[in-house]
Structure 1
Amino acid sequence: MIKAEHIVKSYGDLQVLKGVDLNIEKGEVVSIVGASGAGKTTLLQILGTLDRVDKKGGTVLNINGIDITSLSERDLSKFRNKNIGFIFQFHQLLPEFTALENVCIPAYIAKKDKAESERRAKEILTFLGLSHRFEHKPNQLSGGEQQRVAVARSLINDPALILADEPSGNLDSESAENLHNLFFKLRDEFNQTFVIVTHNTDLAEMADRKLTMVDGRII
Structure 2
Amino acid sequence: MIVAKNIHKKFDQLHVLKGVNLEVKKGEIVAIVGASGAGKTTLLQILGTLEKPSKEFSSSLVIDGNSVLALNDKELSTFRNQKLGFIFQFHQLLPEFTALENVCIPAFIAGKEKKEAEEEAMKLLNYLGLSHRSNHKPGELSGGEQQRVAVARALINQPAVIFADEPSGNLDTQSAENLHELFFKLRDEFGQTFVIVTHNQTLANMADRKLVMKDGLFATSEL
TM-score range, shorter chain: over 0.9
What is the alpha-carbon distance in structure 2 between the residues aligned to residue 56 and residue 79 of structure 1? 24
State the shift of 1:190 in Å.
1.2
Instruction: For structure 1, list consecutive stretches of 5 or more residues without a partner in the other structure.
Output: none
Whole-angstrom distance in 1 between the partners of 2:188 and 2:150: 19
Q: How does 1:9-24 map to 2 (within 5 A)?
A: 9-24=9-24
Would the alpha carbon gap of residues 170 and 57 (structure 1) be closer, same or farther in structure 2, given more than 3 Å must change? closer
CA positional deviation for 1:58:
3.5
Residues 54-93 of structure 1 mapped to structure 2, 5 A cutoff: 54-93=54-93
Measure how far apart 1:56 and its partner are. Answer: 3.7
Counting only pairs closer than 5 Å after superposition, residues 24-63 of structure 1 correspond to structure 2 as 24-63=24-63
- Residue 202 of structure 2 is aligned to residue 202 of structure 1: yes
Amino acid in the other structure paired with 1:149 = V
CA distance in 1 between counterparts of 2:138 and 2:185 reads 24
CA distance, structure 1, for counterparts of residue 145 and residue 59 of structure 2: 40
Give the Å deviation of 1:110: 0.8
Contact 2:2 2:61 in 1 (8 A): yes
Measure the CA separation in 2 of the matches of 1:58 and 1:144: 41
Q: Deviations over 1:102-151 (max 9, x none)?
A: 00000001111110000000000000000101100001111100000000
Q: Is the 8 A contact 2:8 2:57 kept in 1?
A: no
- Write the distance in 1 (CA, Å) between the matches of 2:10 and 2:17: 7
Sequence identity percentage: 68
User: Aligned letter for 2:42?
Assistant: T
Rounded Cα–Cα distance in structure 2 between residues aligned with 1:19 and 1:75: 25
Residue 135 of structure 1: SS of its match in structure 2?
coil
| CA-based RMSD | 0.7
For residues 50 and 57 of structure 1, the distance between their equivalents in structure 2, rounded to whole angstroms, comes to 18
Question: Does 2:214 correspond to 1:214?
Answer: yes
Structure 2 counterpart of 1:77, which letter? S
The SS at the match of 1:194 is: strand
Write the distance in 1 (CA, Å) between the matches of 2:182 and 2:49. 25
Query: Which blocks of at least 5 consecutive residues in structure 2 are unaligned?
Result: none
